[in-house]
C-alpha cells in the first residue's frame, strides 16, 4: 500500500492535528530538507517523509542506505520551550521507536547507546538528532528503519543489519508511520516537561548491553573495555572500568560487545 498523508492521518486520529506531513518521492536527506524548512520558520510537528533518500545521513558521517520500498525514512521538527536542555533526546526518541514497533507487532527490539535500534543484535534502524542553527531548543529528529535489506547493500553492512520483513512480511508503512508519530508525540511531551530523567527507566528496560562487558572505541585514544552500567539522567553512558564508573558524553564513539 503506498504511503499517503490521508492514510497516516486516518490512523493517527485526533493526534493528526499536531503534525504537518509532507511525503516526497525522493530527496537527498529528510534531515537536510527539514533543517532548511526549520530555518525558514516551519512549525513544530512538521514531518518530511521520503520514499527514497539519495544521500541519507547517519551518525559520524555514515551513509544510510534507503532504496524505494525498502526503508522507512522520515524527519520530524520539534520546537521546545526556550531553555529546554536537549540532553538525552536521542535516547528518548529510541524509547518511542521501540514502543511503536511493539505496538504494530514488531517487538523484540533493543536500544544501543546512543541512537541505534537493534533486532537480534543487528542494526534495524537509527536515529539522528540535529539542533536547528540559531535555535538550540528546536530539533530535527531523523529516523530510518529497514523494512527490507536493499539489494545493493554492501555485504559487510548486510551482515550487521536487520529488517522488519525477516521471517515474514513487514508491517504496513502507513501503520508504522502513524504508530511512530503517535509515540513520538507522547514521548516528546514528557521530555519537554520532565526531561530524559522521566524516560530513563523505559530506556534501561530496552538496553541491549545492560551490565554486559563492552568495548568502547573512538576517533581519539585507544579502545577501552568495561562493564556497561546503563545511562544517567542526562543520557550519558556509564562505563565501569575496574570499579570506577566513567560518564561518556560524546556520541562520537563506537560501542561493541567485548
What is the widest separation between alpha-carbon atoms in the chain? 55
The SS3 assignment for 201 reads: helix
- Reading the block at residue 52, the C-alpha cell is 527514497
Closest CA to 63 of 163, 153, 155, 165: 153
Which residues does 166 contact at the CB level (< 8 Å), separation at least 6? 119
* Distance, CA of 243 to CA of 93 (rounded, Å): 30
Pairing relationship of beta strands 20-24 and 46-50 according to DSSP bridges: parallel
Partners of residue 241 on adjacent β-strands: 244
Query: What is the residue whose three cell numbers read 540532553?
Result: 87
* Distance, CA of 110 to CA of 162 (rounded, Å): 12
* Distance, CA of 43 to CA of 5 (rounded, Å): 17
Query: What is the residue whose three cell numbers read 530538507?
Result: 33
Active site residues: 59, 123, 256
* Distances in whole angstroms, Cα of residue 219 to Cα of each of 25, 222, 236, 239: 36, 9, 18, 18
Query: What is the residue whose three cell numbers read 525514512?
Result: 73
Amino acid at each position: 500500500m503506498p504511503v499517503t498523508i490521508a492514510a497516516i492521518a486516518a490512523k493517527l486520529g485526533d493526534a493528526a492535528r499536531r503534525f504537518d506531513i509532507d511525503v516526497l518521492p525522493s530527496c537527498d536527506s529528510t534531515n537536510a530538507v527539514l533543517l532548511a524548512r526549520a530555518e525558514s520558520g516551519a512549525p513544530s510537528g512538521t514531518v518530511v517523509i521520503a520514499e527514497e533518500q539519495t544521500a541519507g545521513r547517519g551518525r559520524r558521517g555514515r551513509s544510510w542506505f534507503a532504496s524505494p520500498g525498502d526503508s522507512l525514512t522520515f524527519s520530524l521538527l520539534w520546537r521546545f520551550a526556550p531553555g529546554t536542555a536537549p540532553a538525552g533526546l536521542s535516547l528518548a526518541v529510541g524509547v518511542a521507536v521501540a514502543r511503536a514497533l511493539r505496538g504494530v507487532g514488531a517487538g523484540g527490539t533493543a536500544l544501543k547507546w546512543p541512537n541505534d535500534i537493534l533486532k537480534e543484535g543487528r542494526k534495524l534502524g537509527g536515529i539522528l538528532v540535529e539542533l536547528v542553527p540559531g535555535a538550540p531548543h528546536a530539533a530535527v529528529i531523523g529516523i530510518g528503519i529497514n523494512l527490507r535489506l536493499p539489494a545493493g547493500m554492501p555485504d559487510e553492512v548486510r551482515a550487521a543489519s536487520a529488517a522488519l520483513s525477516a521471517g515474514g512480511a513487514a508491517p504496513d508503512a502507513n501503520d508504522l508511520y502513524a504508530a511512530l508519530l503517535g509515540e513520538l508525540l507522547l514521548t516528546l511531551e514528557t521530555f519537554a516537561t520532565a526531561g530524559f530523567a522521566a524516560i530513563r527507566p523505559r530506556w534501561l528496560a530496552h538496553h541491549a548491553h545492560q551490565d554486559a562487558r563492552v568495548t568502547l572505541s573512538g576517533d581519539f585514544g585507544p579502545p577501552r573495555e568495561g562493564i556497561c552500567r546503563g545511562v544517567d539522567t542526562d543520557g550519558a553512558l556509564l562505563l565501569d572500568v575496574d570499579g570506577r564508573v566513567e560518564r561518556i558524553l560524546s556520541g562520537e564513539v563506537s560501542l561493541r560487545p567485548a
